[in-house]
Amino acid sequence: MSPSHGHLIRVLVGSLLLQLCDAIKAKGSLPAIIEVNAAKGHPNPIPTSLQPLKLWCQAIDDQGRPLPLISAQFRSKSNAYPATLSPDKTNASISIEAAQSSEAGKWSCDLHSGYGNITGIIDVFVRPVIKHNGNVRVDEKDGSKFYLEISGHTVTVGDNVTLFCPVYGHPPPVVSWRKGGKIIPASPSNSYALIFPSTTDADEGVYTCVGTNTIHQNGRPKQHSVTIDQHLRIKSKLAWLVPFLIILAILITLAAVIIFCECRRKKQTRELKPQEDD
């Protein structure tokens, strides 16, 4: 075989492999849902799924026929999980017990086959839940697992402060803010934030954020929401003066008592001193 013939064969084989790779597609499970029964977890602050999260995917050719796999893995935005291959190597799957709600989002399914590599995308949905690092106090309100109160903020008049709505979900929740039942505008660039450039006494109160998303279940859209209250307290710049005056008054009173007792002791000592005989 001449060198030119060998080169031609390599080109044809490469072209054929390229066409095969282009013909490979990924096929996978329908969007999955991380089912939770509360907006906060216990004892872990992140809620976890009630049922195992199960995902599957496979590589198929242009005729829709499954292709044998060499290996596969599933990736969330924070973790990677090796997949289990079916006995005939044509299907990759995982089952995750107590999946964390923070892993909801777009998952990747990376498939490695003898015909090439392909990545598929699977949506994993979760209703709005609270997302925090455990340093925030979170209490349920009115007996509802999706109505919460979190640690408030105490600032001084004139301070710059930002309130955040610590919600997470997929699809990303739409957030609205209220105070005293009235809707108030959030930051134009971030609806999850409520910015006070310079606080006044009128800013004090309970602020409520509501995170809402819609998930299709059994072919029908279903709306979910979580409500979070947080208290903003405003102190006067002279707020330190009252406790200072109280402490000062206590110290003055204590000093007066000590002086009075000392004077009385000295007087009694003089009265008890024996008189010398003439």
Q: Are 37 and 50 in contact (CB under 8 A)?
A: yes
Q: Is residue 167 part of a domain?
A: yes
Q: State whether 86 and 139 are in the same domain.
A: no
180 pLDDT above the threshold of 50 = yes
Q: Is residue 251 part of a domain?
A: no
Q: CATH number, domain at 67?
A: 2.60.40.10
Locate tokens 């939770």: which residue? 36
Tens of pLDDT, residues 34-84 = 999 999 988 778 899 999 999 999 999 989 999 999 999 999 999 999 999
Tens of pLDDT, residues 107-139 = 999 999 998 999 999 999 999 999 887 778 899
Q: How many domains does the chain have?
A: 2
Q: What would the DSSP string read from start to end of 77-141?
A: SS-EEEPEEPTTS--EEEEETT-BGGG-EEEEEEEEETTEEEEEEEEEEEEEEE---S-S-EEEE
pLDDT at residue 82, rounded to an integer: 97
Q: Is the dihedral of CA 125, 185, 182, 207 positive or negative?
A: positive
What mean pLDDT is reported for the chain?
Answer: 86
CA nearest neighbour of 113 among 85, 81, 75: 85
Bigger pLDDT: 16 vs 46: 46
What's the alpha-carbon Rg for the chain, to the nearest Å?
A: 34
Backbone φ/ψ region at 122: left (φ over 0), alpha (ψ -120 to 50), beta: beta
3 pLDDT above the threshold of 90 = no
Q: State whether 217 and 157 are in the same domain.
A: yes
| Average of per-residue pLDDT across 174-184 | 94
Tell me the residue range of the domain where 157 lies: 131-235
User: Residue 79 has which token pair?
Assistant: 């973790």
